A and B are shown apart, each in its own frame.
Chain A
Amino acid sequence: MQLVGVLFIFPIVLASGPQSQPATPPTAKKTAGRGGAGAGQPLQIGDDIVQVINKLVKAGAATEKGEFETTAEYEARRRAVPVPKAPLVLIMEDNIITYDADTAEMTARLVPDQSIPPTHLREPSHCLFGVSCERADRT
């Protein structure tokens, strides 16, 4: 991704129901779309990376060059994948925010995920961030 910005977001709790209802933190993955919510739906902010990736996968973006596919055909197939032109806004889910009362500063610490298996994904010039991880610790 061509990173063009890192945003701090304070979600505004929209009044789609009674004002007395407690505010709940938003999540980025439960429902589709970016921006506001319909009546009775939780407020959603940003893009859903699971949906973005699944849509790309469905369009063939995850399929490697086939044995019986020429390079030209492969390149043409890749070019035909519909890529979202608008910037994506991906909410980081890990707890990466700390506050220092002495300096009165809020800090987001973005640390690349070192636990991702060292495959072709990891190249020296690439940082990898888990935006949405579904985890299951060993029991």
Chain B
Amino acid sequence: MRKSGSYIGTNAFGAGKVINYSSRDDYGVRLAPDSPIKIVGTGNFTFSLDPTEARALKPFLRVALVGTLAEPRVRSSHSAHAPTFSEPYETDRSGLYIT
């Protein structure tokens, strides 16, 4: 989280309104279309586990994507919303993604 909070915004006519703002940074992965493992829509990966063991281990269980970089490039995205009187919020979102 870079920042979040609120402030009083004022329009050209002097009317004030509470503006909520937030910003975030994303880091992500794009799967290359020629990946050996493809995920179309949703990918479900399952294994069997005894309920007792599952209860004990689930809080610690993690899932990892394993793969190699397909291109020497980092793609970026940015989107923002400027506050208006009818939509009194301000957002700023940036992302960096490897493929």
Residues of A near B43 (CB, < 8 A) are 6, 109-111
For the residues of B in contact with A, the DSSP-based class is strand
Given A2-B32, A88-B67, also A97-B99 (CB < 8 A): no
**CB of B54 within 8 Å of the partner chain:** yes
* A/B interface sample: 9 pairs, CB < 8 A: A2-B34, A5-B37, A7-B64, A82-B72, A84-B69, A106-B46, A128-B30, A136-B23, A138-B21
CA distance A4 to B57 in the complex (A): 25
Q: Which residue of A lies closest to B33 (CB)?
A: A125
Best-buried of A5, A25, A50 by chain B (most CB within 10 Å): A5
Task: Let me know if A20 is at the binding interface, CB within 8 A.
Answer: no
User: How many residues of chain B get a CB closer than 8 Å to chain A's CBs?
Assistant: 68
Asked if A17 is at the interface of the complex by the 8 Å CB criterion, the answer is no
Residue A68, interface by CB 8 Å: no
Minimum CB–CB distance for A22 against chain B, Å: 12
The CA of A92 and the CA of B59, in the complex, are separated in Å by: 14
Contacts of B35 in A (CB 8 A): 1-4
